[in-house]
Structure 1
């Protein structure tokens, strides 16, 4: 896997952006569950699951 990431720069950029987006959206999921905004939290959860 690491060899592929070193050889294919597009794959490594995609992986980095995916990780950043997951860590960026996850706090909003937690906040929305705390505020009882279940629909928005589930939409965010679906987005993170799709990534």
Structure 2
């Protein structure tokens, strides 16, 4: 669970970087930050969802 929350913090920082790079018109940085946001965001949400669900 702690790992998923850590990855969520990383995804939030990637979101900040995405906004910053689009303001600077750095499209390569925007691409990498946006891709990182998608990957880390999806991974963190799925990790929290799977480890937060009760086992049957």
Q: State whether TM-score is above 0.5.
A: yes
Structure 2 stretches of 5 or more lacking a match? 41-56
Larger radius of gyration: 1
Displacement over 4 Å in runs of 4+:
none
Structure 1 stretches of 5 or more lacking a match? 1-11
- Cα deviation per residue 1:1-51 (whole Å; 9 max; x = unaligned)? xxxxxxxxxxx0121011110111211110100110011111111111111
CA distance in 2, matches of 1:23, 1:50: 12
Higher relative contact order (CA 8 A, sep 6+): 2
How many residue pairs align between the two structures?
Answer: 40
With the length of structure 1 as denominator, give the TM-score of the two structures: 0.68
With the length of structure 2 as denominator, give the TM-score of the two structures: 0.63
CA distance in 1, matches of 2:30, 2:12: 15
